[in-house]
Structure 1
Amino acid sequence: MTRTGAQLRIARNAAGVSLRAMAARTNFSKGHLSNVEAGRRSVTPDVVLAYERALGDAVDRRGLLTGMAATVVASTAVADLIRAGFTAALHGGGPVDSWLARVDEYGQLYMTVGADQLQRRLAADLVVLQQHLDSAPLWGVAARLLTTFGKTTGDSDEAVSWYRLATTAADRSEDNQVRVWVRGRAALALAYEGARLATAVELADQALAIDDTPSPGRLTALVARAQAAAVHGDRTGALRLLDDARRMFDVAGSSEQTSDFAIPEWRFHTFASMLLSRLGDPAAAAEQDAADRTRPPELLRFATHIELHRGLMLAKAGDVTGGTAYARAALGRLPAEKRSQSLKLMLAEVECGRQPAVS
């Protein structure tokens, strides 16, 4: 057993929290936490921070976790950031085409890797990029990377601060398609999670006002408005906006299957599934089946999205206990390193058996 793993076990026991309860509180599997505490798996910053949040002030006052997170984070994430940033800087910032290729790479990585891994890589590149922002196209690169970075954070307020910065960078790009995409994608991220809805609507409306040309950014803005209406309980408005988005998808949908910058068929079905599940609409089942049928098999995180939507449908039908059990089991099958903030918020929505709190 490693010293850090043993400290986590001691802190958990001191707080009177079982391993099963800790798994439920942190959204890591019981088996994963058991392996971490026993030293069979490495202690990562996200696990330590999860323990600190879950166990609260009681253990902090006793000094059981004091300084641990700082030590673990500093020795991994921060050190990796500094090393990667300096390595990239020493080799030069690279031409615009090189950065555009990196944007495309991040669009694909977003679909397959976990938030922590993606955040560290993005942070290193952003450290370098900020030293080379000498043209409008590079501001466009920065805007898209900042939007993706915001989606890796575990806090909605923090995410919004990155989205705001991304919109400023997008405006510097002088590219309306970038300006629309950044605002639409940020709005959809918030609305899909049921978080900061006033901000989501504001950003979506800005996107729709900038340019009426059909595009993935305009499509995401329409879906964001539809999701926000669903959370507010506006069934008529949500379905009308979803129909508007379907018509936009017919024009702006993509054949690219595994990029965050594209909206292929399976992804639109996933967005529609979430909205209809929130409304408790039986039509959600058809969208879920279509998403499963058309989605590339390697996109495990998005398969879990659909499973959580099914759990939400059970909860909306009145079986909150069954829906919660179904959703927790689905999330538990997904490796911890592939989970996202969206999944955690969806699980919370299922557990409540109602719409998320409107903010």
Structure 2
Amino acid sequence: MDRRNFLTHAAGTAIAPVVASDLLSSGFDAALRSAAPSAEEWEAKVVEYGKAYMVEGAAEIQKRLAADLLVLQQQVEDPHSWSVAARLATLYAKTFPGSDGVKAVTWYRYAARFADRSEEDQVRVWVRGRAAIALGYEGAALGVADLLSQQALAVDERPSLGVVNAVMGQAHVAALRGDHDRALELVEDGRRAFDSAGSDDAPSDYAVPWWRFNVFISLLAARLGDERLADEAQAEAARHLPDSLPRFKTHLEMHRGLMLARQGDPSGSDLAQSALDQLPPEKHSLTLRLLMEEIQAAAA
């Protein structure tokens, strides 16, 4: 990876020139102020960002994360630093809507390339799997989601969080393409992988606890129009979802709205909009906005 091109591209993804200026300044300030962060400090940042993603809005994270990536790009020399870059770049991609055919997908591809430099198969699988479920959940760039999930499974099919994400990403792609039977088959494959590799309830984007796995199924069931599966998944997700993560409760309410909208019930869109309006705007994610657009399209 050409560092100069990486730096230029990172700055170019900023929302406005003044933001790019702020990012560059913070990067140079960090370089002048102290020695480069240690491997342990970068790992701590990975953990911090994983937790922040669960409660903060995309805009809050994007600028802070971009600044750290500008610092990190000066240090990517060894496999471990590429591993950190891969995981942070995956999260950075999540701050752009998947419907943006350039930025989100470009950063997911960067993350996959960084992961390959890490020489860690677990990271290579996780990065591709996380991108696949993100794009599949958002209903965006389905061809890329399918490709990345296939790549993840080609690296290592043994149960892991990356495999859970990859398989559930494939399931959403199948559902959106109208392949009902294949989508349900993949849900069962994902469930078996989860039974072996699911994580605890740690509030992190790098985790897949039981409630989050059921959030994946809840949306998929709504897309399929499968009320029984949707009710089961929503009940399980709601039962185990921590009160500290209200955004994901909004996801579940909006899934109910999507189910109704797909059944021709005009109240579905109103239900989803009401749920979204009750969540403070600064807590909104790009995924929720895309979900609202999907619900409105179904209602129309």
Instruction: Please give the alpha-carbon distance, in whole angstroms, between the structure 1 residues aligned to 2:20 and 2:239.
Output: 40
Instruction: Please give the alpha-carbon distance, in whole angstroms, between the structure 1 residues aligned to 2:21 and 2:145.
Output: 34
In the alignment, what sits opposite 1:296? 242
Deviation at 1:93, TM superposition (A): 2.0
In the alignment, what sits opposite 2:208? 263
Instruction: Please give the alpha-carbon distance, in whole angstroms, between the structure 2 residues aligned to 1:309 and 1:156.
Output: 23
The verdict on how the C-alpha distance between 1:203 and 1:237 changes in structure 2, with shifts beyond 3 A counting, is same
In the alignment, what sits opposite 1:56? none
In the alignment, what sits opposite 2:61? 118
Q: Give 1:293's aligned amino acid.
A: R
Give the match's secondary structure for 1:302: helix
Instruction: Please give the alpha-carbon distance, in whole angstroms, between the structure 1 residues aligned to 2:200 and 2:137.
Output: 22
Root mean square deviation, CA, Å: 1.7
- Do 1:126 and 1:142's aligned partners in 2 also have CA atoms closer than 8 Å? yes
Q: Give 1:169's aligned amino acid.
A: F
Deviation at 1:293, TM superposition (A): 1.4
Deviation at 1:85, TM superposition (A): 2.0
Q: Give 1:303's aligned amino acid.
A: K
The worse-fitting range, judged by mean Cα deviation, of 270-279 and 80-89 is: 80-89
- TM-score, with structure 1 as normaliser: 0.76
Q: Deviations over 1:140-167 (max 9, x none)?
A: 1001111100000134311000011111
Give the match's secondary structure for 2:143: helix
Instruction: Please give the alpha-carbon distance, in whole angstroms, between the structure 1 residues aligned to 2:55 and 2:215.
Output: 16
Structure ID, larger Rg: 1
Among 194, 199, 203, the residue aligned to 1:249 = 194
Give the match's secondary structure for 1:156: coil
Q: How does 1:7-156 map to 2 (within 5 A)?
A: 73-75=16-18, 77-90=19-32, 91-154=34-97, 155-156=99-100
- Do 2:264 and 2:299's aligned partners in 1 also have CA atoms closer than 8 Å? no
- Do 1:156 and 1:190's aligned partners in 2 also have CA atoms closer than 8 Å? no
Give the match's secondary structure for 1:260: coil
Instruction: Please give the alpha-carbon distance, in whole angstroms, between the structure 1 residues aligned to 2:180 and 2:164.
Output: 19
In the alignment, what sits opposite 1:305? 251
Deviation at 1:79, TM superposition (A): 4.7
Deviation at 1:213, TM superposition (A): 2.3
Q: Deviations over 1:76-109 (max 9, x none)?
A: x335423432332222221111111111111111
Among 93, 98, 106, the residue aligned to 1:161 = 106
Q: Give 1:295's aligned amino acid.
A: L
Q: Give 2:79's aligned amino acid.
A: A
Instruction: Please give the alpha-carbon distance, in whole angstroms, between the structure 1 residues aligned to 2:42 and 2:68.
Output: 9
Deviation at 1:134, TM superposition (A): 1.1
Deviation at 1:214, TM superposition (A): 1.4
Deviation at 1:354, TM superposition (A): 7.4
Q: Give 2:244's aligned amino acid.
A: E
Among 314, 317, 334, the residue aligned to 2:279 = 334
